[in-house]
Structure 1
């Protein structure tokens, strides 16, 4: 026999469930979606405090010059900062060799960082083209050097791929690796990946397989997100000593002032996403002219696995590989022999 009361109850229950489900999805959509960026110079946005150039697509790129005047410099170098950093991070520009060798440095805020406009379509290639544009507009000559630190190393790989004709030489300092580069042996990349803190393993999986979830993953409070993004990276003892001295110099708030999604989260999505090329497939851009490429790595680096850097160096013999014993991820920051050696080897070696 048909039970009208039971049917009405069942129908009402499903309506309630549907309404709750729609509400949950709406709430989830808001949680997954990052807030709009606070563009520098816009109403309510951070102020513009330094020089900028206008790029080919209308975006602006903020930069800073260091070292000897450009007009008298023998060498011109573009510095590419790492994760959570900015154009104000130009450690190599304080080397004792700057005046002696005649070096002019240009550092810049990568897209979405500091005072450079965000680039929602950012790729490894687009940032390499930004660097080409920067060198052109600042009249650094037909060829210049590039040096990238940590996540900035990804950009240097991009320069070697997309603008090799503009390079006089290149340096990658503790460059971040993408565990999904196709040429890594599966067992090697898996072993290195599994040595990372478990929260970083999950954060990298999300960045690679579910980039649409990156903002929520790194802002929710239910469980730990990326340790580096959260400001608690696994640093070596030597790195911790360096950090204690750099705390006042490296200002994360400036780097992310337009939004953490435009700076940090897009960095993760680009750096650990699907690349359009594998660096191990690159050919020597200096086989028929002067120039060299160098990769420097600390043996005690807790952020970038040395095993994969060694593999890259074996596959790319034209990349001069330098290991530093007892050094962590930040070995290029303190003044001294290492910083001088990086510049001297690139420019006069």
Structure 2
């Protein structure tokens, strides 16, 4: 009995000792765990902050950039704008047109106007690299207004006179809205060709923007959503490998309609492809997304007719099979703004301007509308 009691007491003592050791040992690791957790959290935060930061642009003409090969002007704020001239000499021209290139493009992607039409109608053509593209300096404050003012200053420095036309394709078409808002007094007319639209413009009814948004590929819904709601994540989202990025940046064929694929060979193998993003993909592709799908300082659907008389006109061209820019948005815009001359092309995709003779038709309609 006594021996048994001693055994129980010894066992109890050992158990008590183990509990004490466990208790005393758990206090120290708990404190250390908090410190380790804090260090890990700080480390992860620092790492994530680093990976979401876009690299600095490699500005052309600087010690870390490539040499300048283009004709350029120097803007009032010190930036440079690269440009390309075509058509008849401006001194002999009856009409002067400034082309605004689209996403992942540059001045060399000027829509193809035939030399025959340029001679017939006396057309001078001017294209330029939008800020950050090609050999035009980046603009960290780029906005729809700033690009419109860049265009006005380019026209002034090249002595185009008091009036000129603008034609914008895709993302360049979206930029035409800024021209109509801020420099309409300088325009003879404007054409928006397969223009990108911002799902978050206030003038769109919720059901219209929602339907158009849902027509995108899922990865594009995410990509433009990130550009709109968390623009500071745009670079990371489109360069990380965990989730699919923008389909356009990724070069997916799913975004092209059957008619697009017929003209796509005209875009393949462009020798100037490296030129487009030579200053970095953030200042070209990513900033374009941030500006194009961000919160605008005006709503294009509130614009009044910039040409209430016969002094000019605004044309909008869109294909019914455009898989990149849902036509439902364009249809609503042209219903809301009846002063726009609307050309809907059955069966056409996003790249319809590259079809033989299509650009000539766009230019001819714009120039002869008021004649």
**Structure-2-length-normalised TM-score:** 0.91
3-state SS, counterpart of residue 269 of structure 1:
helix
What is the rounded CA distance, in whole Å, between the counterparts of 1:100 and 1:248 in structure 2?
Answer: 31
Residue 86 of structure 1: aligned partner: 106
Per-residue deviation at 1:18? 1.0
Instruction: State the superposition RMSD in angstroms.
Output: 1.4
1:293 aligns with 2:314: yes
3-state SS, counterpart of residue 353 of structure 2:
coil
| Number of equivalent positions | 348
Whether the 8 Å CA contact 1:39–1:258 is kept in 2: the answer is yes
Larger Rg: 2
3-state SS, counterpart of residue 342 of structure 2:
strand
Residue 165 of structure 1: aligned partner: 185
After superposition, the C-alpha distances for 1:204-253 in whole angstroms (9 at most, x for unaligned) are 11011000100000000011011012222510011112112321337432
After superposition, the C-alpha distances for 1:269-306 in whole angstroms (9 at most, x for unaligned) are 00000011111100111114500000000111110111
Which structure shows the bigger proportion of residues in helix conformation?
2
Whether the 8 Å CA contact 2:113–2:360 is kept in 1: the answer is no
Residue 14 of structure 1: aligned partner: 34
Residue 139 of structure 1: aligned partner: 159
1:268 aligns with 2:281: no
Whether the 8 Å CA contact 1:66–1:93 is kept in 2: the answer is no
3-state SS, counterpart of residue 233 of structure 2:
helix
1:244 aligns with 2:265: yes
1:152 aligns with 2:172: yes
In structure 2, stretches of 5+ residues that fail to align are 1-19
Structure 2 counterpart of 1:122, from 131, 134, 142 = 142
What is the rounded CA distance, in whole Å, between the counterparts of 1:40 and 1:231 in structure 2?
Answer: 26
Structure 1 counterpart of 2:88, from 65, 68, 78 = 68
Residue 311 of structure 1: aligned partner: 332
3-state SS, counterpart of residue 148 of structure 1:
strand
Structure 2 counterpart of 1:112, from 132, 157, 178 = 132
What is the rounded CA distance, in whole Å, between the counterparts of 2:316 and 2:109 in structure 1?
Answer: 19
Structure 2 counterpart of 1:209, from 218, 226, 229 = 229
What is the rounded CA distance, in whole Å, between the counterparts of 2:29 and 2:115 in structure 1?
Answer: 77
After superposition, the C-alpha distances for 1:285-336 in whole angstroms (9 at most, x for unaligned) are 1114500000000111110111111111111111100011121001111332
Whether the 8 Å CA contact 2:114–2:360 is kept in 1: the answer is no
Whether the 8 Å CA contact 2:87–2:115 is kept in 1: the answer is no
Whether the 8 Å CA contact 1:89–1:250 is kept in 2: the answer is no
What is the rounded CA distance, in whole Å, between the counterparts of 1:142 and 1:92 in structure 2?
Answer: 25
3-state SS, counterpart of residue 295 of structure 1:
strand
1:193 aligns with 2:216: no
**Structure-1-length-normalised TM-score:** 0.97
Per-residue deviation at 1:14? 1.3
After superposition, the C-alpha distances for 1:70-110 in whole angstroms (9 at most, x for unaligned) are 11111000000000000001123336411111100110000
Whether the 8 Å CA contact 2:148–2:175 is kept in 1: the answer is yes
What is the rounded CA distance, in whole Å, between the counterparts of 1:334 and 1:190 in structure 2?
Answer: 31
What is the rounded CA distance, in whole Å, between the counterparts of 1:133 and 1:22 in structure 2?
Answer: 47
Instruction: Select between 54-63 and 282-291 the one with higher mean Cα deviation.
Output: 282-291
In the TM superposition, 1:165-184 aligns within 5 A as 165-184=185-204
3-state SS, counterpart of residue 335 of structure 1:
coil
What is the rounded CA distance, in whole Å, between the counterparts of 1:131 and 1:186 in structure 2?
Answer: 33
Q: Aligned in 2, Cα 1:58/1:289: closer, same or farther, shift over 3 Å?
A: farther
What is the rounded CA distance, in whole Å, between the counterparts of 1:325 and 1:299 in structure 2?
Answer: 5
Residue 9 of structure 2: aligned partner: none
